[in-house]
Amino acid sequence: MTSASTKRLGDFLDASPTAFHAVDSMAALLEARGGRRLDEGSAWELEPGALHFVVRGGSSLIAFRPGLLPPQETGFALAGAHTDSPALKARIEKPLSGKGLERAAVEVYGSPILSTWMDRPLALAGRVALRGVADPRRAEDQQAGDRRIEYRLLNLSRPVGVVPNLAIHLNRDVNKGFELNAQTHLPVLVAAGLETPEGAADKGGSAGDEGGSAAASWILRLVARELGVEPEAVLGADLFFVDAQRSVVFGEEGELINAYRLDDLLGCHAILEAFVDAVPARHGQVAVFLDNEEIGSRTARGADSSFLRDILGRICALQGCGTEDFYRALARSFSVSVDVAQAWHPSYAEKFDESYAPLLGGGPALKANANFRYATDAEAEAAFRLLCADAGVGCQKYMSRADIAPGSTIGPMTSAHTGIATVDIGAPLLSMHSARETASLRDHELMTTVLAAHFRSGPRR
């Protein structure tokens, strides 16, 4: 990759510690490229070939250009990825204090490799819902009164806490394997030297709860202070403790990147780069970025929701399609589901089927599974291989060992909800679901190239 493209990727990674920030970054780029933001609750007017996008829930985004010809004749070229990653979600209202220390309680989001989160400086980021301040000059504010809600993004890029390990002298078997308990072992240490009664135990209740602390937790006070409000103004929050270290490039020629959330910000960035540089075409072009894949996607903004089908339906309706035309458009479409693939790991070669183990730097990996943990079938595989050949990009293939069940992606769900033929592909990745993951910049460049060809050439149906 060029230094400019590497910097764009690094900047995107560093600006996107949560799905909310990733969508905010993508929306800013789309608007800078002339994209028009649409609201699902408003009436739309679409211009063929013009760039539009929709955000749902603050953490999922679908961008599209309606085709220059009717969709029932040309279909859609789609590519999708997910915006979320495994993390520790903060329970900011719950103070855990005692012996002068304060910790923040957490829940485990998704399936992270928990040991990689220990003793690592953690920042805090996400979205906060605040009680809005009514502006007497605005009639709608006067009508809403105290019920007005304001949503703000928070990104404390500096470290604010750590999950400390137990000294090896007190846990001699730690290097033989140790199970971390989310309730007792993972609360994040955020403050010390607090005035608490000698011998006081952790208080597990929320502020104001019977048996809990009457004062707001330290982390809640920190959030309120950063946003310039009182703690009482915080109505709700989706905040996560995230890795505080920035992305780093290394290798003999700077060919590798190590960062937080490469799964699946690599896919998001490759799709975004290919999509924004695409020119209007006969067919519709759709870039899909969905939240909550790491927890099964069964949310209003996940792949197992109506979001994608809703948007495609509205595009077709506003381009004059009837019901039958809509189904014809779906049947003529093709989708590329972009997620990372488990790269061959030299220290654990026995965990791979040697014939289907993608290598770092070997190009995009086509992912297949007999039980359709990936959406790929022979038809979709053939279409993608031809696309790679046209783009001059090599294609690897990933299949897990027959005795190991692989993960899954958004592909099977978006395909099931729309009936659109879908291929699952991904850039090879080391340490998947670790707090830090490693990938090849060459693979990312090749992925972007083949996705650009997909948006340009359209569905192979």
- Under CATH, which number does the domain 3-85+260-457 receive? 3.40.630.10
Amino acid at residue number 324: E
Is residue 135 very low, low, confident or very high in pLDDT (cuts 50, 70, 90)? low
CA 176, 179, 182 angle in degrees (round to 5)? Answer: 155
Is residue 122 very low, low, confident or very high in pLDDT (cuts 50, 70, 90)? very high
Among 84-93, 209-218, 298-307, 344-353, where is mean pLDDT lowest? 209-218
Predicted confidence (pLDDT) at residue 134 exceeds the cutoff of 80: no
What local confidence, expressed as pLDDT, does residue 85 receive?
97
What local confidence, expressed as pLDDT, does residue 241 receive?
97
Distance CA 437, CA 266 (A): 11
Q: Is 433 left (phi over 0), alpha (psi -120 to 50) or beta?
A: left
What local confidence, expressed as pLDDT, does residue 148 receive?
86
Those residues with Cβ within 8 angstroms of residue 99's Cβ, 6 or more apart along the chain or in another chain: 196, 199, 200
Q: What is the pLDDT of residues 261-319, one digit of tens each?
A: 999 999 999 999 999 999 999 999 999 999 999 999 999 999 999 999 999 999 999 99
Distance CA 213, CA 231 (A): 14
Distance CA 182, CA 148 (A): 35
Q: What is the pLDDT of residues 192-224, one digit of tens each?
A: 876 654 444 454 443 333 334 456 788 899 999
Q: What is the pLDDT of residues 1-36, one digit of tens each?
A: 788 999 999 999 999 999 999 999 999 999 999 999
User: 448 or 197: whose pLDDT is higher?
Assistant: 448
Is residue 133 very low, low, confident or very high in pLDDT (cuts 50, 70, 90)? low
Query: Global pTM?
Result: 0.92
Average pLDDT of the chain to the nearest whole number: 92
What local confidence, expressed as pLDDT, does residue 227 receive?
95
User: Is the preceding omega at residue 304 within 30 degrees of 0, hence cis?
Assistant: no
Query: Within 134-217, where are the H helices?
Result: 139-144
Which residues face 341 on adjacent strands?
A: 428
> What tokens were used for 425?
């592909």
What local confidence, expressed as pLDDT, does residue 205 receive?
41
Task: Give CA separation, 397 vs 152, 192, 351, in Å.
Answer: 42, 51, 16
Predicted confidence (pLDDT) at residue 139 exceeds the cutoff of 60: no
Those residues with Cβ within 8 angstroms of residue 403's Cβ, 6 or more apart along the chain or in another chain: none
Predicted confidence (pLDDT) at residue 72 exceeds the cutoff of 80: yes
How many angstroms from the chain centroid is the CA of residue 415? 19
Residue with token string 């033929």: 421
Share of the chain above pLDDT 90, in %: 85
Predicted confidence (pLDDT) at residue 337 exceeds the cutoff of 90: yes
What local confidence, expressed as pLDDT, does residue 218 receive?
86
What local confidence, expressed as pLDDT, does residue 128 receive?
97
What local confidence, expressed as pLDDT, does residue 201 receive?
47
Distance CA 195, CA 6 (A): 48
Please compute the mean of the pLDDT values over residues 121-144 and round it to a whole number: 75
What local confidence, expressed as pLDDT, does residue 191 receive?
87
Predicted confidence (pLDDT) at residue 132 exceeds the cutoff of 90: no
Task: Confirm or reject CATH 2.60.450.10 for domain 87-243, answering yes or no.
Answer: no
Distance CA 390, CA 454 (A): 10
Helix count (H) and strand count (E) of the chain?
11, 20
Predicted confidence (pLDDT) at residue 413 exceeds the cutoff of 80: yes
- Going from N- to C-terminal start, the domains of the chain cover 3-85+260-457, 87-243
Q: What is the pLDDT of residues 237-257, one digit of tens each?
A: 999 999 999 999 999 999 999
Mark 336-354 as b/e (b = at least 16 C-beta within 10 Å). Answer: bbbbbbbbbeeeeeeebee
Terminal alpha carbon distance of the chain = 32
> What tokens were used for 297?
């996607």
Which residues face 342 on adjacent strands?
A: 429
User: 173 or 431: whose pLDDT is higher?
Assistant: 431
